[in-house]
Chain A
Amino acid sequence: MLAPVTYIQPLTTLRRRRVLPVEGFVMVNLGQVVRAGDDVARANLYSEHIMLDAGRALGVPAERMAKLLQRKPGEKVEEGDILAGRRGVTRRVLRAPASGRVAAVSGGQILLQVSDDSSRLKARVPGEVIDIEPGRGVIIESVCAWIQAAWGNGGLADGVLVFADGNHDHRLTADEIDMSQRGAIMIAGTCDQRQTLELAAQVPIRGLILGSMSTRLIPVAQKMPYPIVLTEGFGSMPMNADAHSILTNNSGEEATLNAQAGDLYKGERPEIIIPLQDAGRPPTPVDLQSFRLGLSVRVLHGPHHGAIGEITGLLASSTLFASGIRAPGAEIALAGGGEATVPLANLEVLG
């Protein structure tokens, strides 16, 4: 059976394609080193417009408007400039009500663009631009430690990794937040207090990495000005041992917290990227795997949620679980000791 993969890698070469939703302009050069928060491309997506009914203003049918237009689409105009009409003292004309650009003309209507709030595409990954797709975006390569997570609040930031406490199940509380964490990405096991998140915003910290978080904090977390990433999901689960180990080994180092929402179809997940200098060119991650004996897996659901282990046995499709569900399963030797029988659907391979 094909297995979903989560990457929790102490050293890898990560390649990431970053492209605009519409055609625009690439703002960086080949070979340029970018930070996660740098803009790499922009597109004209969020501009505002004013529509002018030129035909009505001039009292002419739409089909005769073409002859009366004084400005073409794409031309810049200043407030008061004549857009359409015949020249002369007594003739009716249509003037631009604001400075801008003639965006479009159709059926006697003129669309005037009056603001230029372009959409900017951030790198979201620190690294080197190794390819450029003209008008669309870039491919960035990063040699790094890489941890894919379960949930993110949408934010993005760089900062130094700092543990609140060394334990992977540590519950972060408000009284642990102080000014010494200003500018840091904090790491803890769980959080269930609204005040903790709000106080962290006042410090302010740069980001927060948790194993899990109370579901009730979602609305608060989504309003926080800093990125929050959960490695396991919602509840009170500790951070998985592999992610905790990588973060421990890189404590004090600069990292990127990319708390983007997960998108199956784009292959996007929230992630933690720790750039590693002078690490050579490690291989890119393995893509596709099937469940087999000896594979390192993580439990995604149920009583052992977040536990890491090794497959010691593959079971038949009619394996009966306590819920009464029958499904293909696997026997897992858990890393912390003990064994568990888990449906294959509740496992993912650690890539």
Chain B
Amino acid sequence: MSERSGPKTPSLVSIDVGSVNTRAHFFDAVEGRYRFLASGEAPTTVGAPSFDLNVGVLAALEQLEELTGRPLLTERGLLISADEDDAVGANAVAATYSSGPPIKVVTVGLLEAVSLASVNKLVNTSYCQITESISLGDRRRPETVIDAIHQNLPDLIVLAGGTNRGASRSVIRMANYLALALTLIPEKERPDLLFVGNENLSEEIEALLGGQTRVHFAPNIRPSLDLENLGPAELALAEILYEIQAERLGGLELLQDLSGDPLMPTAKAFGRVVRFLSTVIDPPKGMLGVDLGASSTTVAAAINGDLYLSVHPGVGVGGGLRGMLRETHLSQIMRWLPAEISEDEVLDYLYNKPIYPNSLPVTAAELAIEQAAARQALRLAVGKSLSNMPAQGIYPLPGTVPWFDRILVSGSALTQAPNLQDSLMMTLDAVQPVGIATIILDQNNLAPAMGASADVNPLLAVQVLESNAFVNLGTVISPVGPARSGSTIMRMQMVQDGEKGPVLDIKQGGLYTVDLPQGVVADLYVQPLLSIDIGLGPGRGGWVRRVVGGAFGLIIDARGRPIQVPHQPERRQAALEAWQQTLAPHPLAQPLYEED
């Protein structure tokens, strides 16, 4: 991000070049606090016919100019002003990008469960597609592996292995294989290599591979067997990926020049916001962020500042439907349809959408299909991310996400739904949170901008996050555990301003809302029955203090984990309809708890 002077409250334009749409946002100080003021949007133009992403950037900025009435553009592009009192241009620019084909990466490590697992995790923090993974345990003949690398024509090879006082001969052996594979590839097309293994071998690696290709070094991602350190390597990886994409995407370098600082991948900026927000939550509860895009989906989990970022290129609701369909049975999408729609109609929609990824659902049936696909895409991405969730989290049930105190939801399919009810239902159905979580909707898709601007202007990020640009959909309590459908699994009572509310009997399989206006704080007394767990331990309840109301008040999702949707079509539609109807204020029953 560039900042042309050091004013107290500089205005900011953020630009996010997505795979389908390019967005420009304008932020400025209003009454001493930063506010998000307007956004412009245009189709992304990395492909035919212009092959220049700045065509889309300019169109988005022009729209922003129209909406704000503030002159932002000159003949030379975006106007950067040093004077914070100027009513023209912007004082600073932050830019992120997720557009471009996934980077093809070959990952190499020694042990599959150690260095290879870490290097795969590293590569999965960005828009990369692992085309080959090689370890000492690889049963293929070395020449088969070498031929595979040659024919794959990767964009990048990432080599890990050895702790800093550990293995060296095995690492050099793997590097030798790579040297042979690189020799087969014409010099101009050879992939760069990032070495993130035993730091004592850096000179040898340079001597062995430096003559073949450009070798980059980052600190060892496994400095010791029990320690994983991905952070510095993530930075190095982001820089390399930018260089690769800059050669492919027309206009990317110009955008970086405008921004001033290295362009940040959208997923990384999103992860940064999630990490930042996790620092204000008491561990071991943390923060989850999900960003459902057209071509890729990002899942970011963080506890106390430790970020676990997973990017899933090829899983999304535009071009990403192709990848999602390869890993999905049609019934996993059909189960979320609230009306009778034929399998053929669903298939036609799902296969046509990637051809025209920015097209919009026009009829109710199309919207239902799109939202069903969005649920499955997000469910798939969250499921694939479970192996990269914080081990120190609270897991009331195996195979689910851990207890996150807050869940940040981003991405057009979720945030641009016709109503907030749809956004909330899609999130609950796909993420299936446990414990007690507040759902925050990034309805203007601002999170990447916040992340990209956080370095230079953390105040802006904090104040905009606290503003009404983000919508609190409500706090969700999710009791989980073995119980028969329809049996009472929990009783709860809300106390607001000293006033006790009635007791609500929560039954297994139900979805409930309790009226708690936006921003209003209340305490809850909860009593799970039998071995039901709301994150406090099986059967354990008590006071839950300072629960904040959202657009749908307080929500109790007692549908179990994973949510069982009836197979029979009529019953399924009735259940989905009932759940949808639930998201409205709800009369309560008897008091359970009374103070002396």
A residues in contact (CB < 8 Å) with B: 1-2, 4-5, 21-24, 43, 45-51, 62, 73, 103-104, 106-109, 111, 150-151, 214-216, 218, 233-235, 262, 264-267, 287-288, 300-303, 305, 321-327, 342-343, 345-346, 348
Q: Given A111-B146, A287-B49, are A324 and B183 neighbors across the interface (CB < 8 Å)? A: no
* B355-387 CB contacts (< 8 Å) to partner A: 355-356, 358-364, 366-367
Chain A: CB-nearest residue to B367 = A323
Flag if B180 contacts A109 (CB, 8 Å): yes
Q: Given A2-B42, A234-B351, A302-B366, are A345 and B59 neighbors across the interface (CB < 8 Å)? A: no
- Complex contacts, B208 vs chain A, CB 8 Å: 106-107
Q: Report A321 CB to chain B, min CB distance, Å.
A: 5
* B31-65 CB contacts (< 8 Å) to partner A: 42-43, 45-51, 55-56, 59
The 19 listed contacts between A and B (C-beta, < 8 Å) are A2-B56, A22-B153, A22-B185, A22-B186, A23-B189, A45-B150, A49-B146, A106-B179, A107-B179, A234-B351, A262-B355, A264-B47, A265-B249, A300-B356, A321-B362, A325-B360, A325-B362, A325-B367, A342-B362
- Complex contacts, B344 vs chain A, CB 8 Å: 214-216
The docked-state distance in angstroms from the alpha carbon of A109 to that of B151 is 20
Flag if B176 contacts A235 (CB, 8 Å): no
The docked-state distance in angstroms from the alpha carbon of A343 to that of B367 is 14
- Complex contacts, A5 vs chain B, CB 8 Å: 48-49
- Complex contacts, B187 vs chain A, CB 8 Å: 23
Flag if B355 contacts A150 (CB, 8 Å): yes
Flag if A323 contacts B363 (CB, 8 Å): yes
Q: Given A106-B179, A233-B352, are A51 and B362 neighbors across the interface (CB < 8 Å)? A: no
Flag if B153 contacts A322 (CB, 8 Å): no
Flag if A111 contacts B183 (CB, 8 Å): yes
- Complex contacts, A305 vs chain B, CB 8 Å: 352
Q: Given A111-B180, A301-B352, are A323 and B361 neighbors across the interface (CB < 8 Å)? A: yes
- Complex contacts, A326 vs chain B, CB 8 Å: 418
Flag if B352 contacts A234 (CB, 8 Å): yes
The docked-state distance in angstroms from the alpha carbon of A1 to that of B17 is 16
Is the contact region of chain A dominated by helix, strand, or loop, or is it mixed? Answer: loop
Q: Given A233-B355, A303-B362, are A23 and B186 neighbors across the interface (CB < 8 Å)? A: yes
- Complex contacts, A45 vs chain B, CB 8 Å: 150-151, 153
Flag if A106 contacts B180 (CB, 8 Å): yes
Q: Report B129 CB to chain A, min CB distance, Å.
A: 14
Contact of B59 among A1, A111, A218 (CB under 8 A): A1
Flag if A301 contacts B360 (CB, 8 Å): yes
Q: Report A311 CB to chain B, min CB distance, Å.
A: 17
Contact of A51 among B42, B146, B355 (CB under 8 A): B146
The docked-state distance in angstroms from the alpha carbon of A345 to that of B43 is 9
The docked-state distance in angstroms from the alpha carbon of A283 to that of B367 is 41
Flag if B359 contacts A346 (CB, 8 Å): yes
Flag if B360 contacts A322 (CB, 8 Å): no
- Complex contacts, B177 vs chain A, CB 8 Å: 109
Flag if B47 contacts A322 (CB, 8 Å): no
Q: Is B101 engaged at the interface, CB distance under 8 Å to the other chain?
A: yes
Contact of A234 among B49, B347, B416, B419 (CB under 8 A): B347
- Complex contacts, A2 vs chain B, CB 8 Å: 42-43, 45, 55-56, 59
- Complex contacts, B355 vs chain A, CB 8 Å: 150-151, 233, 262
- Complex contacts, A62 vs chain B, CB 8 Å: 176
Q: Report B97 CB to chain A, min CB distance, Å.
A: 13
- Complex contacts, B188 vs chain A, CB 8 Å: 22-23
Flag if B59 contacts A302 (CB, 8 Å): no
Contact of A264 among B46, B147, B173, B179 (CB under 8 A): B46
Q: Report A16 CB to chain B, min CB distance, Å.
A: 12
- Complex contacts, A49 vs chain B, CB 8 Å: 143, 146-147, 184
Flag if B362 contacts A215 (CB, 8 Å): no
Q: Given A2-B55, A103-B184, A215-B347, are A346 and B362 neighbors across the interface (CB < 8 Å)? A: yes
Chain A: CB-nearest residue to B52 = A288
Contact of A345 among B45, B56, B172, B359 (CB under 8 A): B359
The docked-state distance in angstroms from the alpha carbon of A233 to that of B116 is 41
The docked-state distance in angstroms from the alpha carbon of A214 to that of B360 is 21
The docked-state distance in angstroms from the alpha carbon of A343 to that of B416 is 15
Flag if A234 contacts B143 (CB, 8 Å): no
